[in-house]
Chain A
Amino acid sequence: MRLDLLPRARPSPWLDLLSPALAFLAAVLIGGVAVAALGVSPVQAFVTYFVAPLSELWSIQEVALKAAPLALIATGLAFCYRANLWNIGAEGQFVVGGLAGGCVAIATQGSQGFGSQGFTGWILPAMLAAGTLAGIAFAMIPALLRVKLGVSEILTSLMLVYVAQLLLDYMVRGPLRDPNGFNFPQSVSFDDAARLPALFEGESLHAGVPIALFGIGLGALVLARTLFGFEVRAVGASPRAAGFAGFSDARLTLGVFAISGGAAGLAGICEVAGRIGQLQPEISPGYGFTAIIVAFLGRLSPPGILLAALVIALTTIGGEGAQIDLKLPLDLTRAFQGLLLGLVLGADVLTRYHVRLVPGGPAAKAAS
């Protein structure tokens, strides 16, 4: 007995749109069974996970603040993954971006600004630029190693995450430590000129969210309407045809790594200059890794990624609520997110293939 996958003649576009919704429904049902097994009412859990976070202003802002970096990083990663290049190191590029932008903030600490007016408006743009450029530069390491020496970018980008994390750890314990900080491993708190302003007085929503939305929009435009975006899509759709189109592998590799590294670096400095306001050993709750899930949940297209980031952010915030209100473990949230990804990918396979149960032995050895 074995399962054969037979390609469908023409994948139905209707099914294509419906399949993520069905996958989500299936994930909720399976999650409900797990919750019930833990002795909690599934209905109550559903409300806590998916409804409660949207019922209060502060938690809606939290969802947006969590979704923004995820969507921005995932949009950058979509370029890589569409071109069949595997940047697994967005977490490291995020950290390095936050660190580099934070260095600008610390270096300008207490600056009186230019001229008699004390113009300090340049500091924040300089921080954002430094964060983006540092993310790009850090992503160039695996890209260049791949282009010049043929080293697997999967391994190098992943390993560089640990380099970035340890570098940040060293910096905040050493050179960047706040001299008046009672030896806590953290930097000084940034000046107001080095903080992303809140969008509404007294609320937590800050300018990082519109910056991320702008970045995602730009990414969508580049992917759909530029020759470079066409190149990325062509390589993903058909590598041999992309070679026939004369697209250069090396340039493409450097380009998509620059985009994904830049997006992750920008997200990193937005997080540091937005919510945190100083450098500390941990600046990311794993955004760079979660963004990989977001990119695939969103099927590597910017609108889908935006939606997927909101769903993941929602379940994360909801999961925190469930932990407090229902005593459900945080791991359940992670398991649910993994389940959702598996089901979405599985549903994608089923929209493109029939499954047929074939009696008999294992698949015949393919001839020549």
Chain B
Amino acid sequence: MDATVAHAPRGGPTPLFGAYGIVKRFGAFTANDGIDLEIRAGEVHALLGENGAGKSTLMKILYGLLEPTEGVVTHRGDIVRLANPDAARALGIGMVFQHFSLCENLTVAENIALVMPPALRGRALTERIAGLGRDYGLHLDPARPVWSLSAGERQRIEIVRCLLQDPKLVILDEPTSVLTPGEAEALFTVLERLRDEGRALLYISHRLDEVRRLCTRATILRGGRVVGTCDPQAETARSLAALMVGTQVREVRPKANRPRSADRLVVDHLTLPAPGLHATPLRDLSLTVAEGEILGIAGIAGNGQAELFDALSGERRAPNPEAVRLDGRPAGTLGINARRRLGAAFVPEERNGHAAAPGMSLSENALLSRHATAPLSRFGLLRLGAARDLARRIIEAFDVRKAGPDPAAGTLSGGNLQKFVVGREILAEPGILVINQPTWGVDAAAAAHIRQAVLDLAGRGCAVLVISQDLDELFEVADSIAVLHAGALSSPVPTSQTSRAAVGLLMGGAGEAEAHAPIAAAPADALAAVS
């Protein structure tokens, strides 16, 4: 591993753009914590990191959407202030967003004209679009309405919009996340062409294979800090994954070996099309969770976690009943309350607005998921006293800190609200629990409390499926881990027989054979070197 550590002496000519000591705080949360980044003309520079590592924040600072709390941005060695995107564009910084901002009912040319100065609109613009199309292979019919275009064609519009301003630096935010492999390949050709013209590209991604193919330098972020810079082409996908995922190895809690017993949650060849443009289809997904077992699902956000959760909870139904079985009973076509009556419980990722209604009181939020399975209503009339009792039991059992006797859910801190929604489901003593990102954005004490409660629940025989992006969490609680990538699930591997590096590799999309090649043995020393 020859990754140079941050703050290594900087050599070479003055970079085109530099960012030094960038700190960005949102209240008490530090999204960027002293980041240095140099971008030179004619290079494709990768910005690598997991979700929440601080990539988006840094990118928004460079494009003038956010101002840093501390630190400076330089252009050819001079300090510049990027107060807004106009200032960034004036310096030659262009951006291709992950989610397109296009008007569906307008044509390609109209969409491009919208962002151009009025003097440049009209026929000349149509000719320039055609010219760029010829030069770069960005083929677009200016007269086509946007709604009739594929995701790849829409992205070309964004790229053309950006190129019309003749940028010196193009920032691309996860540009392949919505593209098919063929479209991605065409994009790479365009990007290589731009690089050869001497433009700089900042390529934000967590797809290791792409980064290795395109980029000559990479800056790797974790937890808001730069943890290394390297030449990705000299690295392996494995070593990049190790840098990205992190190496702070915590002691894995030894688990008692439970005898293999009845399967409680079975997903059998579940296939569902993507529910929307930016969603992920589920591809022939199968899994089994036995009594007392905790199965961890790792994966980078946007690889089908939300879709899998909705399919398991019944918020989205499967085409056939046998696709999901709860305690042996087919449940694929049942709704969420029918599944709850079969003994299942669910904790979605988003606390505010999905697991709980922030404007409603805690007792009403207790009703929200328990009205079908607890005696909280009679003849259609609510038993508000019983709901308040239930809320009080949850609050006591999970040490939920709150102001007032029955406050609105939205007034609780993230950790306390998460304890409430997890407690609400665990107090139902479910036979099957599906929990998505159990401790996302939660302080350490609350996270420990929640993980312990999940472990205790499994100890009482519940089958638990934990979907999480936090590998440390999965290694702490799960008996085995499978990786969700692009809507497909790898086969589960016992936690004791795998490593963070192997899982990280699968998260980046490497094949299973590559990931498990020297199972768990090799990486330990390599990982130690970079930490």
Contact = CB atoms under 8 A, between A and B. Distances in A.
Q: Does A associate with B in a complex?
A: yes
Interface of A: 10, 225-230, 233-234, 237-238, 240-246, 248, 360-361, 364-368
Contacts of A225: 381-382, 384
8 contacts: A225-B381, A227-B382, A230-B364, A230-B367, A238-B358, A240-B354, A241-B368, A244-B348
Given A367-B65, A368-B56, A368-B98, A245 B371 contact: yes
A227 to B, nearest CB: 5
Given A243-B315, A368-B99, A230 B357 contact: no
Nearest to B347: A244
A230 B381 CA distance: 10
B356 interface: yes
Interface in B374-423: 377, 380-382, 384, 411
A245 B354 CA distance: 9
A226 B359 contact: no
Contacts of B314: 246
B147 interface: no
Interface stretch (B264-272, B293-301, B335-343): B335-343
B360 A234 contact: yes
Contacts of A367: 56, 59-60, 63, 65, 97, 173
Interface stretch (B79-87, B229-237, B502-510): B79-87
A225 B340 CA distance: 23
B335 A244 contact: no
Nearest to A221: B381
Given A227-B380, A244-B313, A246-B335, A237 B359 contact: yes
Contacts of B377: 226-227
Contacts of B346: 244
A228 B380 contact: yes
A244 B354 contact: yes
Given A225-B384, A238-B358, A244 B368 contact: yes
B369 A226 contact: no
A240 B98 CA distance: 24
Interface in B320-370: 335-337, 340, 346, 348, 350, 353-360, 364, 367-369
Given A246-B340, A361-B86, A233 B360 contact: yes
Contacts of A245: 336, 367-369, 371
B99 A244 contact: no
B103 interface: no
Nearest to A234: B357
Contacts of A10: 411
A238 B337 contact: no
Contacts of B84: 360-361, 364
Contacts of A248: 335
Contacts of B274: none
B101 interface: yes
Given A233-B360, A246-B372, A368 B97 contact: yes
A226 B368 CA distance: 13
Given A364-B65, A368-B99, 9 more contacts: A234-B357, A234-B364, A241-B356, A241-B357, A246-B336, A361-B84, A365-B101, A367-B173, A368-B98
Contacts of A244: 313, 315, 336, 346, 348, 354-355, 368-369
Contacts of A366: 101
Given A10-B411, A227-B371, A361-B84, A246 B337 contact: yes
